[in-house]
Chains A and B, each alone.
Chain A
Amino acid sequence: MGAGAALAALAILPTLSSTYLATVVYQLFLFFIVAQSFDLVAGYMGYVNLGHYVFFGVGAYAFCIALVGNAPLVLAFAGAGLAALACALLLSYPLFRLRGDYFAFATLALLILFQILATNLEGLTGGSNGISLPPGYHLYAAYYLALAVAAACLVVVRGLMRLRIGLAFLGIREDEQAAEIFGVPLLAHKVLGLGVSGAFAGVAGGIQAWTLSYIDPPTVFGMDVALVPIAMALFGGSGTAAGPLVGVVALGLLEQGLWSRLRYLHVAVYGAILILVGLLMPGGIARSGPWRRLAALRAGAPAGSGRAATGGGA
């Protein structure tokens, strides 16, 4: 199994490599959690939730507030996931009245609202001063936690897509009315999708806050950070099995290269990537010709990932 080998390699990586490499890979885990959970709703269900990072930010704030209130670490992480889940459930009522570009637009507007809330509700969030956690060094603990959550996210998304629920998601993406006629309860599935997706992003936010030990509104609700994982998922290929992973690795490593050389304008670079993906290959890398040929070569002997390869045109 390639997946098991990859997991084992990632598990022993920190013991073999430099701290720098471990930090880079850890960051990729977090990007992956956010990108993959975004793609559950965007790629498979067809609802492009541009404000997905709201859940990440809510998780980060819930984690910090819990930890500052002397909650145990485990509870703080659970709180991060639950707060994001609750937020997703609440927001799905107004949001899922919308479709297509309206949905994308309204969710993006949520980022503004949450940044305003985080800045203005000073009693809860510390306002623009943010929240500082007691300092501590836990890169390795965070590394393994992030690895575990990333693996869980991948397993849950793949698992859901093997069930009837997954078929219902695809049905919603392709033709909502047809899915409803075939007896798919639309709202229940949408709420489930957004809830799962939000909870994972929330936990990722908690982990990020734990390692940063400081958060303020722009670091968790800023539009510049919020659109990066989404760019990754779409660049890799939204709605395909490999897409988010490919996108996170490709753009994450590119960013490591850019950060060291380019002091300014890296947001502009991400913007340009989004434009190019939109103009040239809305299917992303995983649907491009060369990648398909590569996958076909690899899948030559065993059958397996046939369903993934035909992931459809999102």
Chain B
Amino acid sequence: MTALGTFAQVVLNGLLLGGIYALVAFGLSLIYGVSRVLNLTHGTFLMLAGILASGLYAWTGWNPFFIAAALVPAFFVLGGLFWGLFVRPNLTRPPLEVVIGSVLITVGLMMVIEDVSLFFAGPSLHSIPYRPPEVRLGPVAVGTARTWILACILVLTVALQLFLRRSYVGKGIRAITEDYAGALLSGVDVARLNVVCFGLGLALVAVAGVFYDMVFAIGPYMGFPLTVTAFTVIILGGIGSLVGSLLGGIILGLAETGTAYVLGAKWAPAISVVTLLLILVVRPQGLLGYRLTHE
């Protein structure tokens, strides 16, 4: 392959990875914005969705985009249950106990899901080897799985942006994220919006999991590193900002694929942790004005 071709390939992979990160990160920031709970299980849900999807694909042979659509309602319900069973009971305590309790619960849940997935699916990597029927635009083949995924991510981003800007529920979510007390005083139904955000957050993660499965491969231990990546994306892009998440995700995705290309694949996973630590040292208030050091 020519140098230009390789470069294009690296960029395309970076864009794809970044788009997937953006979906995961946006789910995390929706959940954080409304509940103020840092969901350390977030990336683990992607791993779960990916393993379920690859199992479903191997079993039924359905189109993976259909599988993604089918996982959306399932993970929406899962998100609601997660909120109701594990997050909500914890929130009536004194502040320090809320922090410790939510850390314990989400880390514990991460360990349970990881170990149970390992038990049922084994330590190997899972993926969806799907090739869509070829579509030609003149002489150029565009109908690869990757281009379809990029298109889906763009459509999802636009749809979410419209939902948050135009719909009543979306306005409520933004209100809580920006000013919790103010939103409460204006009569925003926080409990209901929590269910919506946990549901949406996990649904986004499920879709991202299927996409990840189609482009890369999913193993049982990738959950927490992905949560770290998503968190770094949020710090880069600002909480509750969809466009910021997309930009942050793409920056990180390009940085990771670039690192893998230059230094070797073994250093790519270090990028998000190092970025996170560097931002803490250089600009603890976050890049886009979002304060990290603030409770």
Chain A residues proximal to chain B, CB less than 8 Å: 46, 48, 50, 93-95, 97-102, 104-106, 108-110, 112-113, 116-117, 119-120, 173, 223-224, 227, 234, 238, 264-268, 270-279, 282, 313-314
Given contacts A108-B107, A278-B90, 14 further A-B contacts (CB under 8 A): A50-B103, A98-B284, A101-B99, A102-B38, A106-B276, A109-B276, A113-B273, A270-B111, A271-B107, A271-B114, A274-B105, A277-B108, A278-B101, A279-B89
Does A98 contact B280, Cβ atoms closer than 8 Å? yes
Residues on B with beta carbons closer than 8 Å to the beta carbon of A271: 107-112, 114-115
Residue of B nearest to A271 (CB): B111
B274 touches A (CB below 8 Å):
yes
How many residues belonging to B are interface residues under a CB distance threshold of 8 Å?
A: 46
Q: Which B residue's beta carbon lies closest to that of A268?
A: B115
Known A94-B280, A100-B99, A113-B273; contact A267-B111, beta-carbon cutoff 8 A = yes
Q: Closest residue to A128 on the B side, CB-wise?
A: B266
B38 A101 Cβ-Cβ under 8 A: yes
Q: Which 10 A-B pairs have the closest CB atoms?
A: A271-B111, A274-B108, A278-B104, A275-B108, A268-B115, A271-B112, A278-B105, A267-B115, A101-B38, A113-B273
Inter-chain contact total with CB atoms closer than 8 Å = 145
Nearest-neighbor residue (CB-CB) of A95 within chain B: B280
- Name the A residues within 8 Å of B111 (CB-CB): 223-224, 227, 267-268, 270-271, 274
List, sorted by A's number, 5 A–B pairs whose CB atoms are closer than 8 Å. Answer: A227-B111, A234-B104, A266-B115, A282-B101, A314-B100
Question: Are A112 and B228 within 8 A (Cβ)?
Answer: yes
Q: Is B96 an interface residue (CB 8 A)?
A: yes
Is B93 positioned at the interface, with any CB of A under 8 Å from its CB?
Answer: yes
CB-CB under 8 A from A238, the residues of chain B are 100
In the assembled complex, which residues on chain B have CB atoms less than 8 Å from the CB atom of A46?
Answer: 96
Q: Which residue of B lies closest to A267 (CB)?
A: B115
Minimum CB–CB distance from B25 to chain A (whole Å) comes to 14
Q: Any chain A CB within 8 A of the CB of B8?
A: no
For the complex, is B292 an interface residue (Cβ under 8 Å from A)? yes
Contact B40 A108 (CB under 8 A): yes
Chain B residues whose C-beta falls within 8 Å of the C-beta of A277 in the assembled complex:
104, 108
A95 / chain B contacts, CB cutoff of 8 Å: 280
Chain B residues positioned under 8 Å from A119 (CB to CB): 266
Which residues of A have CB within 8 Å of B107? 50, 108, 227, 271, 274
